[in-house]
């Protein structure tokens, strides 16, 4: 771990200026992932700009049913927010299924979006990793990749995005609010926020140097929608998803799917929005067979590896069960 500077930002402009003016400066919020990576030598920032004093820590519910979540709202508070629990239960469930109570108390909404992959090779500086050090090679393809992604991967990188929260946000059509270095505001849909690895897996998001996440906006959920977050993992708490599904479903009186949105975790290089499955299901009756076919179609482009090929069948089963339970009025 290298020595680093630490500054506590008192206002957004001061924070942006500090980060823009020094090489190797990064924002520090909860630090639950960043500090670990610093200890491991995976990232070696010269300066941490602590933004926890900035005014992005409220949950503002809007009259139209939407909500703006401040970037510094910790996961525990967001999961316990009555409006979130009532109108966006899939988000509350996703948050509570992730990390541990201690981590959720500290980890922030903005930081959660920027979590790095838990690929074991990314975190081990003695081994090659294209994401950590471009053009050194990928150790995971021929090595341990059970927990890694099957969708959106490339020959250069098969890392998965670890967030549960972001999977729910993907299904909820979240919009990320940014503050540019000069102070202007910019919004990016969550589903356009992450870059696929391609041949540049070290580039993970559309953020420009100095951009600061200020919040995440959720539009009102579809009228009459039911939603859930279902996570499959190796133990019943404190484990990343093998497969997770955030499902938002609204049906017509005759049972056809008026709107369906599916976010997938544990399978994608980014929080995965299952657009193909949604397309095949929208306006249709959600029969068991059709659900299964649509879910499978989402994985037509999957690149399974020996240890994680099981995730495709598992995801098909979980998507099918999750939607079936929602249209059947069952919540697990």
Partner 1 sequence: MTTLQRTVGAEVTRVEGREKVTGAALYAYEYPVPDALYAWAVQSTVPRGTVRAVDTVAALSLPGVVAVLDSRNVTRLRPTDTPELAVLQSPEVAYRGQIVAAVVADTFETARQAAAAVRVEYDVDDHDAELMDGDPRIFVPETVNGGYPGHAETGDVEAALAAAPVVLDATYTTPPEHTATMEPHATIAVWDGDTLTLYNGDQAPWMTAARVAELFGLPEGAVRIVADHTGGGFGSKAIPRPPTVLAALAARAVGRPVKVAATRQQMFTMVSYRTPTLQRIRLGAERDGRLTAIWHDALQQSSTLTPYCEQTVTCTRVMYAARHRRTTHRLAQLDVPTPSWMRAPGEAPGMFALESAMDELAVALGMDPIDLRVANEPSVDPGTGHPFSSRNLVACLREGAARFGWAGRDPAPGRRREGEWLLGTGVAACNYPALTWPSTANARVEPGGGFTVRIAAADMGTGARTALTQVAADELGVEIDRVTLDIGRSAYGQAPWAGGSMGLSSWGWAVSKACRALTKRLDEVSGAIPPGGLEERADTAEDVEARRAFSRHAYGAQFAEVRVDAVTGQVRVDRLLGMFAAGRVINPRTAGSQLRGGMCMGLSMALHENLEPDPRFGDFANHDLATYHIAASADVRDVQAHWLEETDDELNPMGSKGIGELGIVGTAAAIANAVYHATGVRVRDLPITVERVRAGPPAGPSAGLSAGPSAR
Q: Judge contact between 210 and 27, C-beta under 8 A.
A: no
Please report how close the Cβ of residue 43 comes to partner 1 at its closest, in angstroms.
13
For residues 16 and 42, which CB has a smaller minimum distance to partner 1 in the complex? 42
Q: How far apart are CA 31 and CA 260, in angstroms?
A: 35
Please report how close the Cβ of residue 228 comes to partner 1 at its closest, in angstroms.
13
For residues 57 and 317, which CB has a smaller minimum distance to partner 1 in the complex? 317
Helices then strands (H, E): number in the chain?
Answer: 11, 12
Please report how close the Cβ of residue 240 comes to partner 1 at its closest, in angstroms.
8
- Can you tell me whether residue 277 is helix, strand or coil? helix
Please report how close the Cβ of residue 90 comes to partner 1 at its closest, in angstroms.
18
Please report how close the Cβ of residue 274 comes to partner 1 at its closest, in angstroms.
16
For residues 23 and 126, which CB has a smaller minimum distance to partner 1 in the complex? 126
Q: How far apart are CA 157 and CA 168, in angstroms?
A: 24
Q: How far apart are CA 50 and CA 122, in angstroms?
A: 25
For residues 71 and 281, which CB has a smaller minimum distance to partner 1 in the complex? 281
For residues 33 and 153, which CB has a smaller minimum distance to partner 1 in the complex? 33
Please report how close the Cβ of residue 116 comes to partner 1 at its closest, in angstroms.
12
What's the Cα-to-Cα distance from 181 to each of 17, 212, 223, 258, rounded to whole Å? 7, 8, 37, 41
Phi, psi of 51 (to 5 degrees): -105, 10
Hey, how many other C-beta atoms are within 10 angstroms of the C-beta on 210?
19
Please report how close the Cβ of residue 278 comes to partner 1 at its closest, in angstroms.
20
Q: How far apart are CA 73 and CA 315, in angstroms?
A: 30
Tokens of 99: 């990390």
For residues 61 and 324, which CB has a smaller minimum distance to partner 1 in the complex? 324
For residues 207 and 309, which CB has a smaller minimum distance to partner 1 in the complex? 309
Q: Judge contact between 267 and 151, C-beta under 8 A.
A: yes
Element of type H or E holding 49: strand 47-50
Q: Judge contact between 156 and 139, C-beta under 8 A.
A: no
Where do contacts with partner 1 occur on this chain (CB under 8 A)? Answer: 1-3, 39-41, 118, 120-121, 123-124, 126-127, 139, 142-144, 147, 232-240, 242-243, 288, 292, 310, 313-314, 316-318, 320-321, 324, 332
What's the Cα-to-Cα distance from 301 to each of 11, 37, 295, 304, 318, rounded to whole Å? 45, 32, 12, 9, 19
For residues 19 and 38, which CB has a smaller minimum distance to partner 1 in the complex? 38
Please report how close the Cβ of residue 263 comes to partner 1 at its closest, in angstroms.
17
CA-atom Rg of the chain in angstroms? 20
Hey, how many other C-beta atoms are within 10 angstroms of the C-beta on 249?
25
């Amino acid at each position: 771990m290298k020595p680093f500077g630490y500054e506590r930002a008192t206002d957004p402009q001061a924070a942006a200026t500090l980060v823009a003016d020094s090489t190797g400066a990064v924002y520090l919020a909860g630090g639950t992932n960043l500090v670990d990576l610093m200890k491991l030598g995976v990232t070696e920032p010269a300066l941490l700009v602590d933004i926890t004093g900035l005014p992005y820590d409220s949950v503002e519910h809007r009259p139209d049913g939407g909500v703006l979540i401040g970037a510094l709202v910790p996961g525990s508070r967001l999961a316990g927010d009555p409006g979130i629990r009532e109108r966006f239960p899939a988000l509350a469930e996703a948050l509570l299924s992730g990390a541990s109570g201690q981590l959720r108390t500290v980890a922030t909404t903005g930081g959660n979006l920027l979590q790095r992959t838990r690929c074991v090779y990314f975190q081990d500086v003695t081994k090659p990793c294209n994401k950590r050090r471009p053009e050194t090679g990928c150790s995971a393809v021929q090595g341990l990749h059970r927990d890694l992604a099957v969708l959106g991967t490339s020959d250069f990188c098969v890392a998965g995005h670890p967030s549960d929260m972001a999977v729910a946000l993907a299904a909820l059509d979240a919009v990320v609010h940014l503050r540019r270095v000069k102070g202007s505001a910019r919004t990016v849909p969550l589903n356009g926020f992450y870059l696929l690895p391609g041949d540049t897996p070290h580039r993970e998001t559309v953020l420009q140097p100095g951009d600061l996440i200020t919040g995440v906006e959720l539009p009102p959920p579809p009228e009459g929608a039911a939603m859930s977050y279902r996570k499959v993992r190796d133990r019943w708490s404190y484990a990343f998803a093998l497969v997770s599904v955030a499902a938002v479903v609204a049906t017509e009186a005759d049972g056809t799917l008026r709107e369906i949105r599916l976010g997938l975790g544990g399978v994608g290089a980014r929080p995965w929005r299952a657009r193909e499955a949604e397309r095949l299901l929208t306006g249709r009756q959600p029969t068991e067979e059709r659900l299964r076919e649509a879910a499978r179609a989402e994985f037509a482009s999957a690149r399974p590896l020996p240890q994680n090929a099981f995730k495709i069948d598992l995801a098909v089963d979980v998507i099918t069960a999750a939607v079936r339970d929602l249209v059947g009025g069952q919540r697990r």
